[in-house]
Amino acid sequence: MGAVIRQFRKRSMWGWFKKKNSDAPVEQPAQAIESVAVPVAPIAPEPPIAAEPTNETVVVPASTNGIHAPVIEEKKGWLDKLKSGLTATRNKLGLNILFAGKLDEDTLEQLESQLLMADCGMPATQHLLADLRKRWKQAGGEGDPRAMLVDSLTELLLPLERPFAIADETPYVIMIAGVNGAGKTTSIGKLAKFLQKEGASVLLAAGDTFRAAAREQLTIWGERNNVTVIQQAGGDPAAVMFDAVNAGKARGIDVVMCDTAGRLPTQLNLMDELKKAKRVIGKAMHGAPHETLLVLDGTTGQNALMQVKAFDEAIQLTGLVMTKLDGSAKGGVICAIAKERPVPLRFIGVGEGIDDLRPFSARDFAEAMV
C-alpha cells in the first residue's frame, strides 16, 4: 500500500504540493527527487538571514543595488578616459615638483611657469598661486600640495559646472555656433545621442548652407541616431532654422538643434548673419533659442578665450562645448575661461566616439588635470 501511495505522489506531485502548503515537513523518498526535473532557482527556498556569506557570484535584482552598477561602471570608464585625454596637459604641467611634500617659493615659481605653458592665463595662474599659499599657510606648512591644488582648481572651475537641463518648452531650441573646424556638426551628432539617452526626441536643422559637405555630414549623423534633419540646398540659414522650429512644434519634438556655418569673430558680416539667425528663431517661437552654445576647439589655447568673449557679446552665450581635449596640451584654457569669462561649460569631449561628449564636472576635470 505504501508503494502505491509513493507512486501516486511521484506522478501527481501531490507530495510536493502538500509540502509547499503545509508547515510540517513532508518526507520524500530519494527516488522522487531524482524523477522530477524541477529548476533549482524557482523552487529552492530562500536562505535564512543568518546564513554565512559565500564567495559565489550573486545576481542583484534591478530594483536594488544592481540598477546602479552600470552607472558606476560607466562613470569609472569616463573618468579613466578623461584622465587619459588630459595626459598631454598633465605632462605639460609637470607637477612632480609638488610631490616632494613642500610648497616653498621656488616650487610656486616653477608651478607658475608650467600653468602658463598649459594656457591657464595670467589671471587664473595668479589666482591659483595665491590660493595655494593661503591653503598651505592654513595647514601649518604641512599636507599634500597636490591635493591642495586639486581643491583650488575645483573651486576655480565650479562656476562653469552648470547641469544641462531641458526646460518645459516644447520644442527646446538649441542654437550652436563656432569657428571653422571647431567640431560643431560632430558635436551636434554626439549631443543628439546624449539627449536621446535621456529620453528626449530630437530634430536637427542644417543651418550651415555654405560648406559643401555640411548638410551631408549632418544627415549622416541624423541617420546614425535615427533623427530627422531639416535642410535645403543653398538656402538662407535663418529660413532653415525657422522651418525646423515650426516642424518641431508641429511634430511635438522635445529638442530642436540648429547648426550654423563656421565663422571667425573678425568676419563682421558673418557675425551679423548669426545675430539675424537668432532673431528669426525668436520669431518662430517666443523665447527661443533657449540655449546658445559655442563649440570650442581645445587645441586653440588662449584663442578659445577670445572666441568666448566675441561670440558672447554678439549672441549672448548660455553655454560652451569644448572638444578635442585629448589632442591638446592646452586644457588649462578652461581655467582662463573660468576666471575671465565664466560662461557655463556644458560639455567636454575627449575622444572620437559617439559617447565621448559628456557633461563637465569641475572636480573630475581638476583631478584628471593634476
35, part of any domain: yes
173, part of any domain: no
Q: What is the pLDDT of residues 232-253, one digit of tens each?
A: 876 789 999 999 999 999 999 9
240, part of any domain: no
Look at residue 96 in the predicted model and tell me its pLDDT.
64
Is the model's pLDDT at 314 over the cut of 90?
A: yes
250, part of any domain: no
32, part of any domain: yes
239, part of any domain: no
Look at residue 335 in the predicted model and tell me its pLDDT.
95
- Residue span of the structural domain in which 10 resides: 2-47
Tally of structural domains, the chain = 1
155, part of any domain: no
86, part of any domain: no
Q: What is the pLDDT of residues 38-64, one digit of tens each?
A: 343 444 444 444 333 333 322 223 333
Is the model's pLDDT at 277 over the cut of 70?
A: yes
Is the model's pLDDT at 363 over the cut of 90?
A: yes
Mapped to the 3 state alphabet, what secondary structure does the chain carry? CHHHHHHHHHHHCHHHHHHHCCCCCCCCCHHHHHHCCCCHHHHCCCCCCCCCCCCCCCCCCCCCHHHCHHHHHHHHHHHHHHHHHCHHHHHHHCHHHHHHCCCCHHHHHHHHHHHHHCCCCHHHHHHHHHHHHHHHHHCCCCCCHHHHHHHHHHHHHHHHCCCCCCCCCCCEEEEEEECCCCCHHHHHHHHHHHHHHCCCCEEEECCCCCCCCHHHHHHHHHHHHCCEEECCCCCCHHHHHHHHHHHHHHHCCCEEEECCCCCCCCCHHHHHHHHHHHHHHHHHCCCCCCEEEEEEEHHHCHHHHHHHHHHHHHHCCCEEEEECHHHCCCCCHHHHHHHHCCCCEEEEECCCCCCCEEECCHHHHHHHHC
Q: What is the pLDDT of residues 14-36, one digit of tens each?
A: 444 444 444 444 444 444 333 33
